Structure 1
Amino acid sequence: MIYLALSVLISSLLFVVFKLFDVFKINTIHAIVINYAIALSLGLLNSEATITVPDIPQQSWFFGAICLGFLFITVFNVMGITAQKNGLSVASVAGKMSVVIPVVVGMFLYNESIGFVKVIGIILALIAVYLSSAKSDTSPVKFKNLLFPLLLFLGSGSIDTLLKYVETNYVAAEAVPFFLATIFGCAFIFGSFFVIIQLLDKKFKFHWMSIIGGIALGIPNYYSMEFLLKALQTEGLESSSVFTINNVSVVILTTVFALLFFKEKLIKKNWIGIGLAIISILLVVSA
């Protein structure tokens, strides 16, 4: 249970770091690329597996790691934009409501049961993302305010689904750090392409604060994933329970951080959205 608690705390801090990027005017994409170099290094240092770098392409989880690497760099960038443009609470709700996606996939992939309560939970999750993105209690949510939360919702759900599938079917417990290192390495390579494009377009302006931001993001990013995978491998804890406790707790803790440290103003619709988010997760995984 300690791994799950640590994952919740560190995952919540990731949203705070992204918000601080906006405060200190740190280039998000540059910091994200550096973050993956830091996470890659931590994965290699913590690995106890006998796998060597030339052996990586022969691993059964290699293709999954490539796909996850692409999703990581893309969704991480969307998370940063969402936290900065929409606020911490919106970003956490949109990201953590995505638990409904692996649940829905599980119904078809693993023949898991589907019932009325679970369907209601899925519908409430979508409503929660909509309401948490609202900027006014009287006017409807504009598409530009909903775009990044929706992309974060879909992207985070895809990561949870693929990560669980690959971890369950192909990754041994002792290979987790090396598996994560490979994912982060792939994300670093994909992120470097973005930087190269900026260089070619002569739009690249690097600042030393991006290094600080990358370190501040990379350390919690790596350990949030390692602790989550270790929690998923804990005997007696079902994956649905792990994702539920993790996601609900992150939504609550991130909202507390937003209110205490960044003085974010939540309107009535936002509070309703956060409440529905918590209820929907509990419904989906308890059904």
Structure 2
Amino acid sequence: MIYLLLSILSSTIIFVVFRLYKKYGVNTLQAIIINYFIACTVGFFGYIESTEDLIRIPSESWFMGIIILGALFITVFNLAAITTQRSGLSVVSVATKMSVAIPVFCGIFIYNESLGFLKITGVILALVAVYLSSIKTKKGISIKRENLIFPLLVFIGSGVIDTTINYLENFYVSENDVGLFSSSIFGIAGIIGTLILIGQAFLGKLKITWRNIAGGIALGIPNYFSIYFLVMALRSPGYENSVIFTLNHVGIVLASTILGIVLFKEVLLKKNWIGIALAVLSIILVASSQ
């Protein structure tokens, strides 16, 4: 369970960094792309023993998988940005966090993981907790019909990312290659993101500042470990993948909400407190289902 806790901690730090972006005027797109290269570099220097490891990446059975994941990382980010502009941050938060339903149900129905009363109840409560914890207005969320496609795509894309990582980790990535695999995903995402920046440069819209570079560095380190520790948690004996994904998402919601109160003086609505209580209960139920 230590890897799961470290993954939750890393993802929660990401939440703090994103909150600081707004405060310091960091260009999110540029910082995200720089973050991919930083995350890739952290993995390469920390877990790769020789240049031979880099040379063999294209020949690995999971190579096409990381290309798909890299493209998904950039695509989902841009869709999240569009959703934020059109429907608000709460909509993005709900769509992203409720996407845990996709890898959970894939784990149950594709990998034949257990399906008991405690797990079903815990997963349902987890989804309700995510929704209630993410809504920051008394009216809840409101989405215009013409904008509904964007949060839907964010939901599907985020769920597909988790499910793809789980699939590759289960069938193609050896234990010794977890670091190489994690780094390569970010490397591909960084390359694709660079193409976007080149396009902006030709249009005269590119202006890279030290502030954006610093933002990318601050994000890249915890971002790498959020994926690395999640993959290691999925390999932990005694816990099914559907349980790990549920505990991971709910744990991030719980930890980020608490940090929002402590660090950013957020004032929670009654529904947010109910969401926190349900999050704790869902963690107990899902963990007990094992």
TM-score bin (small chain): 0.7 to 0.9
CA deviation string 1:158-186 (max 9, x = no partner): 22111011011000111111111211111
Which residue, out of 179, 182, 192, partners 2:181? 179
C-alpha change, 1:107 and 1:166, in structure 2 (3 Å) is: same
String of CA shifts for 1:45-75, please: whole Å, max 9, x gaps: 1234664434222110001111111222333
Once residues 99 and 185 of structure 2 are traced to their aligned partners in structure 1, the CA distance between those partners, rounded to angstroms, is: 20
Aligned partners of 1:20 and 1:79: how far apart in 2? 18
Q: Secondary structure at the match of 2:156?
A: helix
Structure 1 unaligned spans of 5+: none
Q: Which letter does structure 2 place at the counterpart of 1:16?
A: V
8 Å contact kept, 1:28–1:80: no
Aligned twin of 1:21: 21
Which digits, 9 at most, give the CA deviation of each residue in 1:71-121, with x for residues without a partner?
22333556678899536x983x65443322112122332234556766666
> Does the residue aligned with 1:256 lie in a helix, a strand or coil?
helix
SS in structure 2 at match of 1:143: coil
The residue number in structure 2 matching 1:266 is: 268
Tell me the residue number matched to 1:42: 42
Match for residue 31 of structure 2?
Answer: 31
Evaluate the alpha carbon distance shift between residue 240 and residue 114 of structure 1 in structure 2; reply closer, same or farther with a 3 A threshold: closer
2:221 to 215, 219, 222: 219
Q: Which residue of 1 aligns with 2:68?
A: 67
Shift of 1:281: 6.3
Q: Which structure 2 residues correspond to residues 136-155 of structure 1 after superposition, within 5 A?
A: 136-137=137-138, 139=139, 141-143=141-143, 151-155=153-157
Q: What is the deviation of 1:147? A: 7.6
Q: Do the aligned partners of 2:108 and 2:242 also contact (CA within 8 Å) in 1?
A: no
Alignment of 1:28-107 (within 5 A): 28-48=28-48, 51-76=52-77, 86=89, 91=93, 94-107=95-108
Match of 2:240 in 1: 238
Aligned-pair CA distance for 1:262: 1.4
Which deviates further from its counterpart, 16-25 or 44-53?
A: 44-53
**Could you say what secondary structure the match of 1:73 adopts?**
helix
Out of 244, 252, 262, which is 1:250 matched to? Answer: 252
Match of 1:10 in 2: 10
Say which SS state the counterpart of residue 100 (structure 2) adopts.
helix
Between Structure 1 and Structure 2, how many residues are aligned? 284
Unaligned runs of 5+ in 2: none
Give TM-score scaled by structure 2 length.
0.82
Normalised to the residue count of structure 1, the TM-score between the two structures is 0.83
Percent of residue pairs identical: 52
Q: Deviations over 1:237-261 (max 9, x none)?
A: 4333433332222111100111111
**Residues 104 and 243 in structure 2, CA contact (< 8 A), matched pair in contact too:** no
- The answer to whether the 8 A contact 1:100-1:281 is kept is no
Tell me: CA distance 1:182–1:44, structure 2 relative to 1, closer, same or farther (3 Å).
Answer: same
Which segment drifts farther, 141-150 or 154-163?
A: 141-150
The letter for the 1-side match of 2:196 is F
